[in-house]
Amino acid sequence: MVKHTHFRKSANTAFTALWLLMVPFYAVAQKAIPDTSRFLIGQQVKLTLELEVNKGDRVNWPSLNDTLTKSVEIISKGLVDTLTTPDNRIRLTQELLITSFDTGFQVIPPIPFGVSTAGSGETTELFSPAGLLEVLNVQVDMAGDIKDLKPVMKAPYTLRDFIPYLLMLLGLMLLGLLIWFYIRNRRQNKPLIKLPSKPQPLPHQVAIAGLEELKREQLWQKGQVKEYHSRLTDILRTYFEARFGVDAPEMTSDEIADAMKDHLSDKERMADLKNILSMADMAKFAKARPMGADNELSMTLALSIVSSTIPLPVRKENPATGSSGSETDSNKNR
């Protein structure tokens, strides 16, 4: 009888060893480990998922949503970390941040891990052991003051928080720069902002524009012969002063004719000038009334004198190429 019993135990031991050799070996150290099993309602607790497998095994990591159960919520999920153990196996870990807003005992359900060995197409589902959490309620002192569950947390600063201050600083810097420019320019008798000046018209342009305007006004046709000749000679006097530096506005007709000899070398132009001045003196001082043709002639002669004294282009030789280029006189329109 004893020998028969001993034989049965030996057979069972051999069968068990044979079964272990035939079944794939999984490192079933799958765990769901909270850092504490008791916490206050709303408090955040770290839950670590852990699984050990052999090298080459394929793992289907648990795909979790926002909750573990109806009463246990997942606030955040970390990345799955991989580590090689001293016995040359692979340990996978992931940290979850969980909380609960229901007091009492809350169950962490078994979490499934899918594992298939290298070279095998079958996947075995392994479950972590279930856990139990105790969610404590806040002790309320009815006689004490009302307090928050947690102190007020300050939000981290962002660039948007500093934008108003940066704009204010930039505005103060700009204002200071404007004040500095104003004081400096005030001391140097300069304007704060120097606008580009409009190019001044050249003397012959002013004279021709004045004569054309006088022609359009038709003064002598309206009987204003004296004013017509006075205006015409004033335009020429101003032109001679600006063009040749002759103080014509302060000279008599004879003095003007004498001063312009050096500038109107053409005898025909000198005769035209004397004709204009003589006709104007007759209209202004002798109270004569020149004929319409004479009035038109004075205008024509005045335009001819101005046109004939426009500065001609000055040709300058280019020292680099030896060629000559054309540049206008400084008094000619740019």
Residues 137/100, Cβ–Cβ less than 8 Å? no
Write down the mean pLDDT value for the chain.
81
Tokens of 78: 């970390």
Q: Which helix (H) or strand (E) holds 295?
A: helix 292-308
What's the rounded mean pLDDT across residues 255-261? 87
| Residue 168 amino acid letter | M
Work out the pLDDT band at 20, boundaries 50, 70, 90: very low
Q: What is the pLDDT of residue 70?
A: 92
What's the rounded mean pLDDT across residues 293-300? 90
Contacts of 135 (CB under 8 A, 6+ apart): 39, 40, 41, 71, 100, 102, 103, 104, 105, 106
Q: What is the location of CATH 2.60.40 in the chain?
A: 25-136
What's the rounded mean pLDDT across residues 291-296? 87
Whether 30 shows a pLDDT value over 50: the answer reads: yes
- Tens of pLDDT, residues 226-256: 899 999 999 999 999 999 898 888 899 888 8
Q: What is the pLDDT of residue 79?
A: 93
What CATH class is the domain 25-136? Answer: mainly beta
Whether 19 shows a pLDDT value over 80: the answer reads: no
| Residue 95 amino acid letter | E
Of the candidate ranges 27-31, 166-170, 228-232, 239-243, the one whose mean pLDDT is the lowest: 27-31
The C-alpha atoms of residue 239 and residue 319 are separated, in whole angstroms, by 36
Work out the pLDDT band at 112, boundaries 50, 70, 90: very high
**End-to-end Cα spacing for the chain:** 135
What's the rounded mean pLDDT across residues 138-165? 80
What's the rounded mean pLDDT across residues 111-126? 86
- Tens of pLDDT, residues 62-87: 989 999 999 999 999 999 999 999 99
Using N-to-C axis directions, what is the helix angle for 292-308 and 267-284, rounded to 10°? 140
